[in-house]
Amino acid sequence: MTAPNVAVLGAGNTGFAIAAELSHRGLVVTLAELPEFAGVLEPIQAEGAIQLFGTASTGLARIHNITTDLAAALAANDLLVMSIPAYGHAPWARALAPHVRAEHVLTLMPGTFGALEMARILREAGAPSITIAETDTAPYVCRRTQPDGATIWGVVPHMGLGVFPAGDTERVLGLLEPLFPGLRPVSSVLECGLGAMNPVVHPVGVLMNAGRIERSRGEFYFYEEGITPGVVEVIEALDAERLAIGAALGFDLVGVAAGFATAGFGPEGDLWSVINGSRMLTALRAPGALDTRWLSEDVPYGLGIWSAVAGQLGVATPIIDSTIRLGLTVLREPAGRLRRTLADVGLEGLDRDGMLAFAGTGKRP
């Protein structure tokens, strides 16, 4: 790709921020949304711009193209960046399938095995095979703070990058690094998906602050006030199980405290110290209700696929499984209703070596 063109898919919190920040930096940005969510684009259609506030670029960012025409968006851009909740990956994959070209490179920010699910859906739809990458976190700590604007409280300086198939890693890194400096390539999307921090922290934090969230409707600072030493104990117990899953696949994953510090969220130290020393995280309020994507995404998609992989590898995950059960109960979902299964991501029936081979080549052994 010779032109600095990129299509940002999804106009939520992070999509708004990515489109505005990259536009400020001189890229030719298309911001695309599914037709059924056209309403989220209406506040910025007339001006063709997004107001950006916070610690990154600020001011009015002119967006080259704002559209729900996915065919046109994909025709004009080879590089696709998507930052949406995990429950949007499958609908987006089905919507993109008729318009995908072999030249496209799609990156989910973050993915949590979403790259594997989207690759399966595109393959089953008969779309050309494309490279799909994912990161282990979003590039910014941000929110859409007004109908036509977003606030970035912090830029994440280091993100893990996994690519499917893994053989395309260097090529994808070369395309993305000018847009998101500090990307750190890992061995595969399996390692990247297990490196995600949101499922480690969000579900436990929400469940252990459930009464306060319901009573105050989220009017407190989630990380600064809600992630107390006692909550940290449970988070770290859950994290130990994630590390064990990674070890069973041969990955030397970073623990949650070191992961937060390495990503630039806060200073080095134990998890409580990292969080309470973070200018980014301590600025974030809690969700306004328990039916939040911090449960509805991070439990049945994030923790759910980790538990499924662990079961196939023979790794015990009692804390993860208990958190899933409590989370689904709060959401009034059936106990076994996981939204990202081994079959969804193409890993069913594969042992350790089979999983690694599939992630490396894109072909099931």
pLDDT tens digits for range 40-59: 999 999 999 999 999 889 99
Identify the burial level of 140 via C-beta atoms within 10 angstroms of its C-beta, where 0-12 means exposed, 13-18 middle and 19 or more buried.
buried
Quote the pTM value.
0.93
CA distance 283 to 183: 24
Provide the pLDDT for residue 295. 96
Provide the pLDDT for residue 284. 85
Is residue 112 a contact partner of residue 86, using CB atoms and an 8 Å limit? yes
Copy the structure tokens of residue 47: 């001006």
Provide the pLDDT for residue 264. 81
CA distance 77 to 24: 18
Nearest alpha carbon to residue 292 among 190, 218, 208:
218
Provide the pLDDT for residue 1. 41
CATH number listed for the domain at residues 198-333 = 1.10.1040.10
Q: Could you say which residues of the chain have pLDDT below 70?
A: 1-4
- Cβ count within 10 A of residue 107: 28
Q: Which CATH number fits domain 5-194: 3.40.50.11540, 3.40.50.720, 3.40.50.1100, 3.90.340.10?
A: 3.40.50.720
Provide the pLDDT for residue 3. 46
Identify the burial level of 320 via C-beta atoms within 10 angstroms of its C-beta, where 0-12 means exposed, 13-18 middle and 19 or more buried.
buried
Q: Where in the chain are the domains?
A: 5-194, 198-333
- What's the 3-state SS for the chain? CCCCEEEEECCCHHHHHHHHHHHHCCCEEEEECCHHHHHHHHHHHCCCEEEEEECCCCEEEECCEEECCHHHHHHHCCEEEECCCHHHHHHHHHHHHHHCCCCCEEEECCCCCHHHHHHHHHHHCCCCCCEEEEECCCCEEEEEEECCEEEEEEECCCEEEEEECHHHHHHHHHHHCCCCCCEEECCCHHHHHHCCCHHHHHHHHHHHCHHHHHHHCCCCEHHHHHCCHHHHHHHHHHHHHHHHHHHHCCCCCCCHHHHHHHCCCCCCCCHHHHHHCCCCHHHCECCCCCCCHHHHCHHHHHHHHHHHHHHHHCCCCHHHHHHHHHHHHHCCCCCCCCCCCCCCCCCCCCCHHHHHHHHHHCCCC
Provide the pLDDT for residue 2. 46
